[in-house]
Structure 1
Amino acid sequence: MTDALIQTFRRQGRACQNLGSPFHAALLALAADDLEGGWDGAGLFAPWAEADAMAMFADAVPLRFLGGLHDMVLEGADAELAAAYPAPGRAADPARAWAAARAAVAARTERLAAFMAHEPQTNEVRRSVCLIGGFLEVARASGLPLQVFEIGSSAGLNLSFDRYRYDLGGACVGPADAPVRLDTDWSGPAAPVDAPLQVAARAACDRRPGDLTDPAQRRRLLAYIWPDQFERLGRIRAAIDLALELGVKVDAADAVAWTRERVAPRAGRATVLFHSVFWQYMPAESQAALAAAIADVGARAGAEAPFAWLRMEPAPPSMAAMEVRLTLWPAGEDRVLAEVHPHGAWVKWAG
């Protein structure tokens, strides 16, 4: 297990560096060094004892670990650890933070193990800036109000996408007074911002939805935002406040069963099923079942009741790039709309 864990930590560290978190990159490098030196992680990684490096990376083991540490910082449960973490106006100290993290692992093993037992549930609000072009495209093509269904919704922050204000390379869309404002480095053709975007109904599900009224669950969402990315933290806090104000609800349900039960074309509306960075966490058999359920909905679509499948997911087969893809029935046309940054920092729009 140790060799695979070291490989996984180093790979995730490179990813963190490339995605703008030098603090997490440094922390994972120090952890990998100590693993090579014989540190065993106090049994935190025992659930993955039989996993290879690829399986550990797919199961987001390093991100679970980093999230557990950040959760303690956000709660104020470890003053020494918190003092070494980055904060506005204060540089991070990775070496000090790792020393404190090792001590925290030894002292709070059960707490960290409990946090790591569930897969990450990120709610990166800026992914809405990647998806908004797809919603606009459906609105443009159909000319109808949308009824939207999100699967793998976590706490449902992206379900309020139409309440956000977007700057898509100078082309703006969304309420001018929106408390959540999202921009991106947009390239390619302009998005169809003049499309009649109206959301008539919305619903969402997650196997384990985040309850935003629970401080611990709100903190869990924040814990998966990298601590040296202050703008991301600010955005998600604003989105949480708005979701609480709007009373956003997410059903606790399996995505396959929920799609079969809830999602259906409706005359006079364009039905949209959407998800972001969700598919890769599903077992292969669940992916196949969900794809079949979506195809069944598509088969029931018509000119007056179109159905769209909009998703932001890693592009197969390499999974190295992130793309936004749209399938629109009744024709069933499938196309890649954009290549995007995992956290929405840039969008290369094809349209």
Structure 2
Amino acid sequence: MSDDVSDLIRGLRLQAMACRGLGSPLNGDLLERAADDWLAGGPVRALLEPWAGLDLKGQFDTAVALRLIGAWHELALSGEDEAVSRAYDRLDVGMIWSAVQTAMVSHRDRFAAFMTHEPQTNEVRRSICLVGGFLEIAEATRLPLRCFEIAASAGLNLSWDRYRYRLGEATWGDPGASVSMDTDWTGPAPPVGATVEVVERAACDRRPTNLKDPNERRRLMAYIWADQTERLARARAAIEVALSNGVEVESADAVAWTGERVTLRPGTTTVLYHSVFWQYMPPESQAALEQLIGEIGAAASADAPFAWLRMEPPGSVPRMDVSLRLWPGGEERVLAEVHPHGAHVHWAGA
């Protein structure tokens, strides 16, 4: 076995461990079987061949393993293969593996086409990680918010203020909201008494999900792990909120869109935010966006503040942080360490 193929196998096995650690033993087991199938020359080999030459970092940066399990789940959700759908309904790993082994031959072109698109999970529970940041911004500036999300996928986290949250002993949001969420919250509560008024919201993505299209909705749901039924139910509810409020995501490059759309307005606080996006940008785009953000921040004033809120891993450190820069001033603050899917939040605050 060549080194590059061993990196593919290591990537599958490491993602299997990550799935188990993030509460999806089903996908952990399926990915272990996929690694064994590659080594045995099974149908996984043909599907993953386009990524076989990538090193381990490349395997994770392009989310090869997540593309594969997403493709299987999408077929199950479609109902177009009875054996696959029935196996997923039962969440039986043996049944699923047997069914997808057959499907990887009979639906090979469908799977290959699905896997050309990078995963877009649009995890709704990331809003419980970000909401404390929005509350900190509102409390600090005492102004209405204009919210701009980049790499927004379907825009489910654009409706963050329309959800209900339990933040440890504190709560925030509409008690009658159709989407409610809690988390394992440690640390103090954010300023839940802050006045929050969102007067403008907009979003972009390089390849946005059109929620009005049932095929695209299914693609979005496919990336949510099948044995995490609470996540699936929450995403379905959030999709209904987005549709009922006319949420739309513009198709655009993040750097170009930020330069065109994110402008300061007196009497409001402009907020640019994103979650689990930065690692997918090429270094030159990261540098261009960071420079642009700094330029917008330099023009901010007390009457027209600017905030950069994000949930991203800090460099190569294996964790996820919520960080905030607020101008004038622009001091960098790490508000929280959080779970990638919002299962826990360790809040430090401002």
Q: Find the aligned partners of 1:301 and 1:158 in 2 and give their Cα distance.
A: 25
What does residue 116 of structure 1 align with? Answer: 115
What does residue 45 of structure 1 align with? Answer: 48
TM (norm. structure 2) is 0.97
- Kept after mapping to 2: 8 A contact 1:206/1:255: yes
Shift in Å, 1:40:
5.3
SS of the residue corresponding to residue 210 of structure 1 reads coil
What does residue 83 of structure 1 align with? Answer: 86
User: Residue by residue, what CA displacement relative to the aligned partner does 1:114-160 show, whole Å, maximum 9, x if unpaired?
Assistant: 10001111110000000000000000000000001000000101001
What does residue 293 of structure 2 align with? Answer: 294
Shift in Å, 1:44:
1.6
What does residue 189 of structure 1 align with? Answer: 188
SS of the residue corresponding to residue 205 of structure 1 reads strand
Q: Which segments of 5 or more consecutive residues in structure 2 lack a partner in the other structure?
A: none
Shift in Å, 1:282:
0.8
Correspondence for 1:24 among 23, 27, 36: 27
TM (norm. structure 1) is 0.96
Q: Find the aligned partners of 1:337 and 1:211 in 2 and give their Cα distance.
A: 32
Q: Find the aligned partners of 1:46 and 1:34 in 2 and give their Cα distance.
A: 13
- Kept after mapping to 1: 8 A contact 2:205/2:253: yes
Correspondence for 1:72 among 75, 80, 89: 75
What does residue 36 of structure 1 align with? Answer: 39
Structure 1 residues 297-336: aligned runs within 5 Å: 297-318=296-317, 320-336=318-334
Q: Find the aligned partners of 1:203 and 1:286 in 2 and give their Cα distance.
A: 21
- Kept after mapping to 2: 8 A contact 1:2/1:35: no
What does residue 273 of structure 1 align with? Answer: 272
Q: Find the aligned partners of 1:267 and 1:73 in 2 and give their Cα distance.
A: 50
- Kept after mapping to 2: 8 A contact 1:140/1:196: yes
- Kept after mapping to 2: 8 A contact 1:127/1:276: yes
Q: Find the aligned partners of 2:10 and 2:80 in 1 and give their Cα distance.
A: 30
* Aligned-CA RMSD value: 1.1
- Kept after mapping to 1: 8 A contact 2:153/2:209: yes
Q: Find the aligned partners of 2:243 and 2:174 in 1 and give their Cα distance.
A: 18
User: Residue by residue, what CA displacement relative to the aligned partner does 1:187-244 show, whole Å, maximum 9, x if unpaired?
Assistant: 1011110011110111100011110000000001100000000000000000001111
- Kept after mapping to 1: 8 A contact 2:324/2:333: yes
Of the structure 1 ranges 111-120 and 93-102, higher mean CA displacement relative to structure 2 is found in 93-102
What does residue 129 of structure 1 align with? Answer: 128
Q: Which segments of 5 or more consecutive residues in structure 1 lack a partner in the other structure?
A: none
Say how many residue pairs are matched.
346
What does residue 348 of structure 1 align with? Answer: 346
Structure 1 residues 134-173: aligned runs within 5 Å: 134-173=133-172
- Kept after mapping to 1: 8 A contact 2:273/2:308: yes
User: Residue by residue, what CA displacement relative to the aligned partner does 1:147-177 show, whole Å, maximum 9, x if unpaired?
Assistant: 0100000010100100001111121111111
Equivalent position amino acid for 2:182 in 1: D
Shift in Å, 1:50:
2.3
Q: Find the aligned partners of 1:345 and 1:48 in 2 and give their Cα distance.
A: 31
Equivalent position amino acid for 1:248 in 2: V
Q: Find the aligned partners of 1:106 and 1:149 in 2 and give their Cα distance.
A: 43
What does residue 216 of structure 2 align with? Answer: 217
User: Residue by residue, what CA displacement relative to the aligned partner does 1:64-104 show, whole Å, maximum 9, x if unpaired?
Assistant: 0100100000001211122222x4xx4x2212211211111
What does residue 100 of structure 2 align with? Answer: 101
- Kept after mapping to 1: 8 A contact 2:301/2:327: yes
